[in-house]
Amino acid sequence: MAMEIENVLRFEHPEYLFWLLVIPVLIIIYLLIWLRQNRMYKRFADMGTQRYLMPQHSAGRNIIKFVVFLLMIACFIVGLANLQSGSKMEEVKREGIDMYIAVDVSNSMNAQDIVPSRLDRSKQAINTLIGKMRGDRLGLIIFADKAFVQLPVTTDYSAAKMFLSSVNTNSVASQGTNIGEAIELAVKSFAADERSKAVVIISDGEDHENEDAVNAAKDAAKKGVKIYTIGMGLPEGAPIPIYNQRGQMTGYKKDKSGNTVVTRLDENMLRSIAEAGGGLYVRANNSNVGLEKIYDDISKLDKTEIETQVFTDYEDQYQWFVGPGIVLLLVWIFMSSGKRRWESKFNIFERKGE
């Protein structure tokens, strides 16, 4: 069964749209530089003298060139996100399982024994896995001291990538590592159907309530939900970086005595959870997180056929943004190549006395 729908739009890679945030940052930087230069010019000479000494200077031209540059950046970013138009919705049948990936977002996941960091490497592996999924429904849970559903199970993999991109250690206010609550939340959030279900815990395992986590895994297994764990970190551990509001590292976390805190992977904890939940434990390293190995095992579970509605016949519309972006690039290069006679027409600050 199919029904026609007009003008259905989506972005193939919506996560790229976050790069648009660089535009207000560039505007702020430009204004700060402009104010600084303006103060320097005023200290150097009055307006009349400035025009005499710098006849080639054109404030209007610089502003126009900067606006062209911003528009060019915006066009290329939206082009990379690839706007698509869909014209048809169809009911399709897919076979798969339901899976929640629960990601530890406590501060210890900023440790860099797994590069670029435990959390960033986890997100990279999940993003790669999402790109390979077909038919399975995926959900995201983030947890520290508390657990929250970031995305309910869905086959909308583009949405999954977008929600994943926003995950960081500031996503949960209270710190800690409550793996048991993450498991309980995942089990409770699954739909009550016959589809095979699995939960993948990605954490360094530093849970001070380990018995609760093991018991939660046992209860999940009784309900038919398999629990898998991935250990992020190395046994020798690493210090926990501290970042300021601008994202700059200012040092490492210290205890009350002033000693640097070292966070270490608790393999025994994570292995016990996986065994209690009837799943597997894999330790990540700098070359392989191990998520694909776990997904291969999950894929062996019985798969159930479901019907879902999806848009088909999507057409790429990126050319409507990349094309103008190239034109703006050429204009920007032309304006940057030097002062020309026609450019003086854009200078709103000069020729007042002519």
Cβ proximity of 109 and 118 under 8 Å = yes
What is the predicted pLDDT for the residue at 57? 54
Summarize pLDDT for 4-31 with one digit per residue, the tens. 344 567 788 888 898 999 999 999 998 9
What is the predicted pLDDT for the residue at 351? 46
Lookup: tokens for 285 = 């390293």
Q: Where in the chain is the domain with CATH 3.40.50.410?
A: 98-302
Residues 6+ apart with CB under 8 A from 301: 97, 196, 198, 226
Cβ proximity of 254 and 239 under 8 Å = no
What is the predicted pLDDT for the residue at 189? 96
What is the predicted pLDDT for the residue at 233? 92
Predicted model pTM: 0.63
Cβ proximity of 307 and 92 under 8 Å = yes
127, amino acid identity: N
What is the predicted pLDDT for the residue at 301? 84
What is the predicted pLDDT for the residue at 6? 46
- For the chain, residues with pLDDT lower than 50 are 1-6, 341-344, 346, 348-354
Number of Cβ atoms within 10 Å of the Cβ of 279 = 24
Burial of residue 252 (CB within 10 Å: 0-12, 13-18, 19+) is middle
What is the predicted pLDDT for the residue at 329? 92
- CATH architecture entry for 98-302: 3-Layer(aba) Sandwich (3.40)
What is the predicted pLDDT for the residue at 43? 64
Summarize pLDDT for 221-275 with one digit per residue, the tens. 999 999 999 999 988 899 999 988 888 888 999 988 899 999 999 999 999 999 9
How far does CA 347 lie from the centroid of its chain? 42
What is the predicted pLDDT for the residue at 92? 56
What is the predicted pLDDT for the residue at 87? 58
Q: What are phi and psi of 227, to 5 degrees?
A: -115, 125
